[in-house]
Structure 1
Amino acid sequence: MAAVTVFAVEALEDITDSLGLAAVPDPLVVRRNIVLRGFDVNGLARHDVFSLDSGDGPVRFEAHRPANPCAWMNAVIAPGAFKALRGRGGVRCVPVDDGLLRLGPATLVA
């Protein structure tokens, strides 16, 4: 089964000032599959299960390991982004169920 990487947009918001950025970077630059707001993604422990439902029924995911940022973050965000995102790069997860997720709001159950 394929891995899915989940990321919290708050990590980008947190590094904006420390890197001297004029605006929060677009979450697409971190190249994660799912970007969430309001959920402590990096607080997930190995084997924690959560579900997302974007309107077509819940899809459960099992957390596995941290998704460490790469040095490419310094090129696409700003110098220092790689270091600033350490420990906040998201979590690699495995889908437990088949299902459909759509772009936009979703209900998360942890």
Structure 2
Amino acid sequence: MATIPPPGSALGRLMATLPRAGRVEWIGLRPKRDVAMRAAESVEAKTGAGLVGDRYAGGSGKRGVTLIQAEHLPAIAALAGHDAVAPALLRRNVVVSGIPLLALKGRRFRIGDVVLEGTDTCDPCSRMEEALGPGGFNAMRGMGGLCARIVEGGAFRVGDPVSALELTEDIITDDIRDDD
């Protein structure tokens, strides 16, 4: 993991500057293992846990929500040899457009009433071979999205903005501050 520079440094200022807010395009929940994800228009997020109705809702907080970049879906589809890829196939909870998700790693951001903190990249798993066909795992590498923990619970819905919160030294997590 790369070290996050101090917020006041030149690199820190560059990393903190995002062109605009993003937008929630899709929300998906999987109530139990080995069932298809179901789309939702809105969802309740529980602090330190996960999304109500998702099988990971009671688990550890570092992966309470998984997000993927909408702009990556056509690239994943092309690399996997498909015309398009439905978000539910990729097993992420939230599809976001307009904001670079990896820029949110190690920082806090808001979606609706919810404050999240990007904890790590959300790398693909072996199930992508089944979902996308041979090479599906590699088609997703580098575009698997972001895992986040829920810092402040609440609700969010499709269409809500995704906005980075001000990057300050006191909210950079120890996991992110240290080397990968």
With the shorter chain as reference, the TM-score category is 0.7 to 0.9
Q: Percent identity?
A: 31
Pick closer, same or farther for the CA change 1:33–1:19 going to 2, 3 Å.
Answer: closer
**What amino acid is the match of 1:99?**
G
Matches within 5 A, 1:26-37: 26-37=86-97
**2:68–2:145 contact (8 Å) kept in structure 1:** yes
Distance in 2 (CA, whole Å) between partners of 1:34 and 1:19 is: 21
- Counterpart in 2 of 1:68? 123
**1:13–1:24 contact (8 Å) kept in structure 2:** yes
- Counterpart in 1 of 2:5? none
- Counterpart in 1 of 2:73? 12
CA RMSD of aligned residues (A): 1.5
**1:8–1:41 contact (8 Å) kept in structure 2:** yes
- Counterpart in 2 of 1:89? 144
TM-score, structure 2 normalization: 0.53
Cα shift readout 1:36-61 (whole Å, capped 9, x = no counterpart): 11221133332x111112xxxx3110
Q: Runs of at least 4 residues of structure 1 off by over 3 A?
A: none
**1:42–1:87 contact (8 Å) kept in structure 2:** no
**1:42–1:89 contact (8 Å) kept in structure 2:** no
Q: 2:100 aligns with which of 40, 60, 72?
A: 40
**1:42–1:88 contact (8 Å) kept in structure 2:** no
TM-score, structure 1 normalization: 0.83
CA drift of 1:20 comes to: 2.2
Distance in 2 (CA, whole Å) between partners of 1:35 and 1:18 is: 19
Structure 1, unaligned runs of 5 or more: none
